[in-house]
Amino acid sequence: MSVEMSLPVLTDKDFASDQDVRWCPGCGDYSILAQMKKVMPTLGIPREKIVFISGIGCSSRFPYYMNTYGMHTIHGRAPAVATGLKTVQPDLMVWVITGDGDGLSIGGNHLMHCIRRNMDLNIVLFNNRIYGLTKGQYSPTSPLGKRTKSTPMGAIDNPLHPLSIAIGAEATFVARSIDTNIKHLGATLKRAAEHSGTSFIEVYQNCNVFNDGAWDYAKDRNTKADTTLELEHGKPLIFGKDRDKGIRLNGLEPEVVQLGKGITEDDLLFHDEKALEPSLAYLLSRMRYEDGFPEPIGVFRSVDAPRYDELVNDQIALATKEQGPGELDKLYGSGETWTVA
């Protein structure tokens, strides 16, 4: 008699830990947590094979709320901790939860190197453009002129743009979503999970206490159709309430054009997330609301490339195949030896 083996059917509740969630009421993090718990059962991966790793900050409390393995580590270092874990146990699914301060300021170095190695990790960066846990200092993504507790006369350093950084390090999967756009967020997390190699997702996340409304332009029901642009692979870049506007390339610069009056869809820039050359994705990451562009959401880039965690273990397998499993007695006695009777 054959016994059908299948994974138990899990729901989002199975992924909730017994810990009370302690983000401020109304925080965008709740939505991201809810979508993550919803996505988990759809991946077909048992709970014990999943690890969430975070650094420090509001977002980094995330692992405590997931009933998987998890580590809440130190500020900025989650990608490095995850690298150690993943190289030793490459069959685990590892998520890194970080924020704009954790990931781009104190942990910028690790983020960059983790991405260039194409470690098979899913990195979700909650971008609220503020330091929340330390109560309201400006962050590396705060806009110029931003007045905060630590910038009473306005921020004077240029902000970093997370996706431009990720693409600069040639991330193999880059996407953006918005905390309140739950359908889109869920779908984006799932695509990230399914990608082999580093997946980097920026989530526009509202800190309703220290930086409320930072992303209103992208979330407001009345404006979002004009301020965001949903990317679809192989499709022209069209946006607007009436889907009558598009993005056209003028030399190396994008420009917003009105469809009709002699401009057709064929004149527009077509999205190609599979492009090996990351320039198009970079160009998309440079389209900013303050410069009069809709900000793209969705998958900017999704390409295949060798993964560090696989390669490192492949080298071990190759060395073992070529030299045989290591024998310590042979090693001890290698080189010049002599015997004392």
Partner 1 sequence: MSTVAEKPTTELNEATVRFCGDSGDGMQLAGTQFTTTSALVGNDVATFPDFPAEIRAPRGTKAGVSGFQVHFSSNEIYTPGDVVDALVAMNPAAFVTNIGDLRDGGILIVNESGFDKKGLELAGLDGNPIEEVALHQLEQKYKVYKVDMTKLTRDAVKEFGMGVKEADRCRNFFAMGLVFWVYGRPLEPTLRFIEAKFGKKPEVAGANRAALMAGYNYGETVEAFDTQFHIPKAELKPGKYRSIMGNTALSWGLMTAAKLSEKRLFLGAYPITPASDILHELCKHKNFDIVTFQAEDEIAAMTATIGAAFAGAMSITASSGPGIALKGEAFGLAVIMELPMVVINVQRGGPSTGLPTKTEQSDLYQAVYGRNGECPMPVIAARSPGDCFEVAQEAWRLAVRYMTPVMLLTDGYIANGSEPWRIPQFADLPKIPVTHPEATDGSEQFLPYTRDERLARPWALPGTPGLEHRLGGLEKQDRTGNVSYDPENHQHMIDTRAAKVANIAEDIPLQTVDGPDEGDLLVMSWGGTYGSCLSATRLARKHGKSVAHAHLRYINPLPRNLAELMGRYKKVLMPELNSGQLRTIIRDKYLVDVIGFNKMQGRPFTVAELVEKISEVTG
Where on the chain is the footprint of partner 1 (CB under 8 A)?
17-19, 46-49, 51-53, 56, 63-64, 66-74, 77, 80-89, 91-92, 109-110, 112-113, 312-313, 315-316, 318-320, 322-326, 328-329, 331-333, 335-341
Q: Return the structure tokens found at 313.
A: 């273990």
Q: How many angstroms separate the CA atoms of 225 and 220, rounded? A: 9
Q: Which is nearer to partner 1, 56 or 203 (CB)?
A: 56
Q: How far is the CB of 14 from partner 1 (least distance, A)?
A: 10
Q: How far is the CB of 331 from partner 1 (least distance, A)?
A: 7
Q: How far is the CB of 60 from partner 1 (least distance, A)?
A: 9
Q: What is each CA distance from 89 to 10, 52, 64, 86, 133, in whole angstroms?
A: 24, 14, 21, 5, 32
Q: Return the structure tokens found at 303.
A: 């390409």
Q: Which is nearer to partner 1, 1 or 328 (CB)?
A: 328
Phi, psi of 69 (to 5 degrees): -75, 150
Q: How far is the CB of 307 from partner 1 (least distance, A)?
A: 14
Q: How many angstroms separate the CA atoms of 74 and 214, rounded? A: 27
Q: Which is nearer to partner 1, 45 or 263 (CB)?
A: 45
Q: How far is the CB of 166 from partner 1 (least distance, A)?
A: 16
Q: How many angstroms separate the CA atoms of 97 and 54, rounded? A: 5
Q: Which is nearer to partner 1, 251 or 333 (CB)?
A: 333
Neighbours of 333 (CB within 10 A): 9
Cβ-contact 199, 206 below 8 angstroms:
no
Phi, psi of 298 (to 5 degrees): 110, -160
Q: How far is the CB of 202 from partner 1 (least distance, A)?
A: 21
Q: How many angstroms separate the CA atoms of 165 and 288, rounded? A: 15
Classify the C-alpha dihedral 231-235-240-246 as positive or negative. Answer: positive
Beta bridge partners of 174: 200, 301
Q: Which is nearer to partner 1, 80 or 231 (CB)?
A: 80
Q: How far is the CB of 118 from partner 1 (least distance, A)?
A: 14
Q: Which is nearer to partner 1, 11 or 89 (CB)?
A: 89
Q: Which is nearer to partner 1, 160 or 263 (CB)?
A: 160
Q: Which is nearer to partner 1, 66 or 247 (CB)?
A: 66
Q: How far is the CB of 87 from partner 1 (least distance, A)?
A: 5
The DSSP call for residue 16 is: B
Q: What is each CA distance from 337 to 5, 55, 323, 328, in whole angstroms?
A: 56, 50, 22, 15
Radius of gyration of the chain (CA): 23
Mapped onto helix, strand or coil, the DSSP state of residue 158 is: coil
